[in-house]
Amino acid sequence: MKPAPFQYTAPTSLREALTILAENGYEAKPLAGGQSLVPTMNFRLAQPGILVDLNHIPDLSYIRLGPDGSLHIGAMTRHSAVEHDPLVAQHAPLLHETMPHIAHRQIRNRGTIGGSLAHADPAAELPAVAVALDARFRLVSQRGERWVAASDFFVGLFATDLRTGELLAEVVFPPMPPRAGYAFDEVARRPGDYAMAGAATLVALDAAGRCEQARLVYLSVGEYPTPASQAAALLLGQRPSAELIGQAADAAATLDIDPVADIETVVGGINASLADATLAARRPPRHRSTPEPGAPRSTRRGGRGSCGPAGEPCVRCPPCERSKPRKFRPSFLATTSVVALPENGSSTVSPIKVNILMSRRGNSSGNMARCLDCFSPGKFQCP
C-alpha cells in the first residue's frame, strides 16, 4: 500500500512547528519516529493533509535532571537513548527496566518517547509506566503551555488529551520515593511482539515498613492504561506479606480490570479475543511458564509429540488428532512479576510472582492449533 497524497514540511524550531500546526488544524499531523504513523498512512488508516516532521528540532531531544531531582526527557528523545542513559537508570529505574521490552532494537533506534505516549497504543509499555510513575506531560501550542498528569492524559483507545495545534514537548518523571521497589513484566508470544498483557508497579514503604504508596498499572487489558486502584488500596498502611499480595492480586483480577479484547483484535480486526485475564497469587502454574527470551525454541515441524524443547517429546501434547480440528485454542498459563518490595527496608528488591491465565480463539478456519507450552504449530490438543 502507498499513503494518500500529502504535503511535507520539516521545521527547524519549535515555534515554526507550532505555527504550522495552528495554521493547518486537523489536517496537520506531527511526525516523530514514524514507527506507528508511517504504517498507518501506508494502509490509509491515517490520511493527514500535511506532515510536520519534528526530527530537525534539537530542542525537543534531551535527558536532564531538574532542580528537585525529577527527570526531564524531551519528546523527541529516541527509545535507545532512554534505554542506555545512566541518568534514567539511576533516577527512573522502572523506566530503564521497561525500555528493552519495547518492540525491537531497530524500532527503538527510531521511535521516540513522545511519539509513543502521544500515539496512546493500549498495548504500549510507556503509557503504563508513565501512569505508574505519576509522570507529568508538558503540552505546548501557540496558545501557551499546560501540564497534564499521565493519569489524565490517556482518555480512550488511541485517544489523548492533546488538543488541535498542541505538541507533547516534555515528559517529567518525579524522584523515586525512598524505600521503593518496582517491577515491569509482560506476556507476549515472542520478544518484541505486542504484549497480550503486562503490568508496571511501584511500591514504597515508610520507616516502619508499612506500605505508603502502591501504584499497579496494567497494559493491554483495556482501552488505555488501567490502574488497579482497589488492589493498591488493600496494600496501603499494611506490612507487605505473601498473603496480602495474594489478596491484592485477587482484587486486581476481580474488581479492577475487565479486559474486552487484545490489541490484535483492535488493530487487525482478526477473529480473536482475550476471553479472560485473571491474577491468582499463591497458585503455582500447572505447567511450565512461557519460554524466556533466548530459550531454545522447539522444532517447527515434526511428527507426533515433537514440540518439546530441542525436539524432545512434549509432555503436554497427546497424539495428533488430525480428524478433530480445534476451533479454539485451550487456555495457557504464563507467569509475570508485577510487584517488587524492598526486603527489610534495604535497597534489595524482591519480586513477587503472580500468574496470568488467558484464553484465545484460534484462527477462523479452525484447522490449526498450537502447543501453547512452546507455541509450535501443529495439530495438538494440550490439556
CA distance 179 to 204: 6
What is the band of 259 on the pLDDT scale with cuts at 50, 70, 90? low
Mean predicted lDDT score pLDDT of the chain: 75
Beta bridge partners of 28: 50
The per-residue pLDDT for range 65-116, each reduced to its tens digit, is 999 999 999 999 999 999 999 999 999 999 999 999 999 999 999 999 999 9
Burial class (CB in 10 A: 0-12, 13-18, 19+), 280: middle
DSSP letters spanning 134-198: T-EEEEEETTEEEEEEHHHHEEETTEESPPTT-EEEEEEEPPPPTTEEEEEEEE-SSTTSPPSEE
| Dihedral, 69, 75, 76, 80 alpha carbons, nearest 10 | 60
Q: Whole-prediction pTM value? A: 0.70
Question: Is residue 316 predicted with pLDDT exceeding 50?
Answer: no
Q: Which three cell numbers stand for residue 84?
A: 542506555
Residue type, 48: P
Quick one: average pLDDT of 41-57?
A: 95
Asked if 60 and 74 touch (Cβ cutoff 8 Å), the reply is: yes
- Rank 46-50, 185-189, 247-251, 300-304 by mean pLDDT and report only the highest: 46-50
Asked if 223 and 122 touch (Cβ cutoff 8 Å), the reply is: yes
The mean-pLDDT minimum among 129-138, 151-160, 247-256 falls in 247-256
| 136-141 vs 144-149, strand pairing mode | antiparallel
Asked if 77 and 177 touch (Cβ cutoff 8 Å), the reply is: no
Domains in the chain: ranges and CATH: 7-173 (3.30.465.10), 180-284+338-358 (3.30.390.50)
The SS3 assignment for 211 reads strand
What is the band of 334 on the pLDDT scale with cuts at 50, 70, 90? very low
